[in-house]
Structure 1
């Protein structure tokens, strides 16, 4: 199964932290929805899922029902603490998420969020492709995406595509050889 990690970075390379003062760009969110529809699924962490289903944005029920933005999409939430969330599949590990989606017949898994989730897939060498949306903002102390949090090592990537999404957001797509 091909796995694609989708993330937004700041212009100075941090993992972008959205907040009311720094909301995600509409173009990046629209791209995520398009990528999720193309894959037929996405994997997120519990905190990211809760933020996505914040009632000020969209209710959890609307998100997974037949009329929500992710209707018909398999949503997999990675959580070690929560056993059940109505309308989604909850798993405890990246391998379990990939196995579940593979058993459902998906050829691609979209890893959509949470720095911890992204880093766990990267550290375990489970990512074939990364999509970075570079947001037009500089951020102070931030989080990083890491292939190994304990060692200083490199992993070569190959540029597949580069395109503007609008509102000064640039999307970079890289292949990672596993």
Structure 2
């Protein structure tokens, strides 16, 4: 299974999180890339906090996806609750999916990076400097290498696609 990680980043490398929307509003056509990728894959993997934030306002989109929430506590009956990244991928593989779409938040991104499961990275790089967005990290001493597959722009926003080496 190919695992695609989709994230919005600031110019200083911080993740731009939905919780920061009061401070910065990313253009919808670019910020919504995660949900567009999820629709392509037919599924979406999110952490509990991200799911709880988006579920009420994104019901129409989420009902068309196989939703996996990574959490230590059981979630809604209409989503699969995975305990870790490997469990999420295994569940989607058993359901017949060829790609998995990881779309937030910080802890979920890091679980996939630490486990080495992120095959592709899709980043929107926004021309803002922020604080408090968190960062993507691997396990201590672990290095993951990717190569640039595509770079394009949308106004001042760089849209980057990396593939694992």
Q: TM-score, normalised by structure 1?
A: 0.84
2:145 to 156, 163, 167: 156
The structural deviation recorded for 1:93 is 1.1
Listed as ranges, the gaps of 5+ residues in structure 1 are none
Distance in 2 (CA, whole Å) between partners of 1:74 and 1:142 is 27
The equivalent of 1:173 in structure 2 is 161
RMSD between superposed Cα atoms in Å: 1.7
The equivalent of 1:5 in structure 2 is 5
Listed as ranges, the gaps of 5+ residues in structure 2 are none
The equivalent of 2:87 in structure 1 is 96
2:96 to 105, 125, 135: 105
Instruction: State yes or no: 1:125 paired with 2:113.
Output: no
Runs of 4+ in 1 over 4 A off after TM superposition: none
1:34 to 36, 41, 44: 36
Q: Secondary structure at the match of 2:62?
A: coil
Are the aligned partners of 1:44 and 1:114 in contact in 2 as well (CA < 8 Å)? Answer: yes
The structural deviation recorded for 1:34 is 1.5
Q: TM-score, normalised by structure 2?
A: 0.90
Number of aligned residue pairs: give it: 163
Are the aligned partners of 1:27 and 1:165 in contact in 2 as well (CA < 8 Å)? Answer: no
Distance in 2 (CA, whole Å) between partners of 1:76 and 1:8 is 20
Are the aligned partners of 1:75 and 1:88 in contact in 2 as well (CA < 8 Å)? Answer: yes
Distance in 2 (CA, whole Å) between partners of 1:20 and 1:154 is 34
Instruction: State yes or no: 1:71 paired with 2:71.
Output: no
The equivalent of 1:15 in structure 2 is 15
Q: Secondary structure at the match of 2:32?
A: helix
